[in-house]
């Protein structure tokens, strides 16, 4: 009986380890979906500050329609926060252009 108990505990430990590794991989994959946008907001002179209204609005639309729903569905709160931050920066920049 003790051998079965040990096997059961080992199996559970292995499953928990696999589950945690999959969770980390999921998070990395979701983070990667931000990569095409990150470069717009990084550096001393971020590119988003030079974007015209059309491109800014298209970027906002993509962030709102594509990434936020994806991140919310996957419960990736860090991504939702980052996207909302990007949208805010773009909207502020649009206001400056008026």
pLDDT of residue 68: 96
Domain that holds residue 48: 34-98
The pLDDT tens digits for 5-17 are 777 677 777 878 8
The pLDDT tens digits for 40-95 are 999 899 999 999 999 999 999 999 999 999 999 999 999 999 999 999 999 999 99
pLDDT of residue 34: 94
Q: What share of the chain is helix, strand, coil (3-state, %, to 5)?
A: 85, 0, 15
User: With a threshold of 0.85, does the pTM exceed it?
Assistant: no
Assess whether 88 and 41 both reside in one domain. Answer: yes
Assess whether 42 and 68 both reside in one domain. Answer: yes
- Structural domains in the chain (count): 2
Q: What is the mean pLDDT of residues 22-33?
A: 87
Assess whether 42 and 23 both reside in one domain. Answer: no
Assess whether 42 and 12 both reside in one domain. Answer: no
């Amino acid at each position: 009986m003790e051998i079965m108990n040990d096997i059961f505990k080992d199996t559970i430990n292995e499953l928990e380890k696999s589950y945690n590794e999959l969770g980390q991989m999921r998070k990395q994959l979701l983070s990667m979906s931000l990569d095409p946008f990150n470069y717009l907001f990084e550096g001393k002179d971020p590119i988003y500050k030079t974007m015209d209204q059309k491109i800014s609005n298209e970027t906002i639309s993509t962030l709102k329609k594509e990434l936020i729903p994806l991140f919310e569905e996957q419960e990736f709160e860090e991504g939702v926060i980052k996207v909302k931050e990007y949208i805010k920066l773009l909207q502020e920049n649009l206001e400056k252009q008026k």
